[in-house]
Every structure is written in structure tokens, then in C-alpha cells.
Amino acid sequence: MKKSTKIMLVVTGILLIVLGVVCICNPAETLFSMAWLIGILTLLSGISKLVFGLRTQNFLPNSGTRILTGVIDVMFGIFFLANSLFVAASLPLIFAIWLIVEGVILVVQSFDYKKAEYQGWWGMLLMGIVVVVLGFIAMKNLDMAGKTLSILFGCAVTLLGVAYLVAFFGINKFQKKVKQAKEAFHEAIEEYRN
């Protein structure tokens, strides 16, 4: 995998964590400001996922899922930015749906990492389940105040950012295994020739 793709994955994870912490520390922010923040972050996250999925589709399983989630995030990001007043009014419902979808995708992707023999796959699975649960909590309490929503959003987005960083380390480990397998194969070929 190209170094720039790895950097984008780490940057996306860090941006998600930073946004999550900002929301937790400043729960009094208005829903309108959250709609803009969510729109910008979702758009950037979608672009990052899309580029990552396109660049890794030849050697990582289920890259189509990553590409699809990237396209969905880009569409959500554009929608949030273009309709911020509507989004501010309906943010609790949109947020709950987004969390559930992202959590389910994390759960599915965790099994890809399990197939690649990454031992930290269960961490992604656990984070995905927690994000889905937070999504259902938000769905059940659509009348919650902006302050509570901001804290809930901050926790969930922070978990998503951590999941991106876990994915980065999983990819690095997977690449090392592939490199070791290639080296062992080349050594076996050389021994056979001699």
C-alpha cells in the first residue's frame, strides 16, 4: 500500500478523534454548528475512504465496501453542507442512522481483518457494536438536547477515529506478513535452483 494512502487513513482517524473530543468538551455548541462540522468531516472522511478503497482494492478483501461507504459519506457530507438548517432540525435522526450504518460497517470490516489474521480485529468488532448501540440510543431519544447529542456524537466519532487507527496498524501487520511470505517464497525458489 502506498505511504500516502496510509497517511490519509491515519489523518482521517486523528481528525475523527479531534472532532469527537471537541464535541465532548464543547457540548453547548449549537446544532447548526454541528451540522457544518459534521458536513465537513463527513465529506473529508468519505473522500479518504473512497481513495483508500480504490487504492487497496487489488489486495485487501471487500474493498468494495470501503468504496461504497466512501461514496455514502461524500453524499452525506454534501447534503449536510447544502442543507444545514434542515440538518440542524433533523440532526438527531440523521445522526442516529449514520451511527448505525457506520457501526455495522465496522463490524463487517472487523471480520476482514480477522481473515487477514490481525489479532486486534476484535477491537474493531467491539467498537462497531458500541457505535451501533450508541446509534440506537440516539434513535430512541430523538428529543434529546443538543448538549447531550454533542456528547454522544463526540463519543461515537472518537470511537470511529480509534477504529481507523486500529485499521492502520492491522494493514501494516498484514503488509509485513505478505512481505515475509514473498521473501520466503524467493528464498525457496533460490534454494530449488541451487
pLDDT at 133: 92
pLDDT at 57: 76
pLDDT at 184: 83
pLDDT at 132: 92
pLDDT at 146: 58
**Dist. CA 92–CA 150, nearest whole Å:** 10
**What percent of the chain is modeled with pLDDT above 90?**
4
pLDDT at 129: 94
Least confident of 7-11, 62-66, 111-115, 132-136: 62-66
- The phi, psi pair for 141, rounded to 5°, reads -120, 60
**Dist. CA 124–CA 103, nearest whole Å:** 9
pLDDT at 190 > cutoff 90: no
pLDDT at 126: 92
Burial of 49 (0-12, 13-18, 19+ CB in 10 A): buried
Contact present, 72 and 94 (Cβ < 8 Å): no
pLDDT at 134: 86
**What pTM value is reported for the model?**
0.51
pLDDT per position as a tens digit, 76-92: 889 888 887 777 777 77
Which segments within 80-180 are labelled E, that is strand? none
Cα 63 to its chain centre, rounded Å, is: 13
CB hemisphere CA count around 180 (13 angstroms):
6
Amino acid at the residue 45:
S
pLDDT at 172 > cutoff 60: yes
Q: What grid cell was written down for 83?
A: 442543507
pLDDT per position as a tens digit, 97-148: 888 998 998 898 888 888 878 888 888 899 999 989 988 887 887 766 556 7
Q: How distant, in Å, are the alpha carbons of 73, 110, 140, 184 from that of 155?
A: 19, 20, 17, 44
Contact present, 34 and 65 (Cβ < 8 Å): no
Q: What grid cell was written down for 187?
A: 528464498
Contact present, 142 and 96 (Cβ < 8 Å): yes
pLDDT at 130: 92
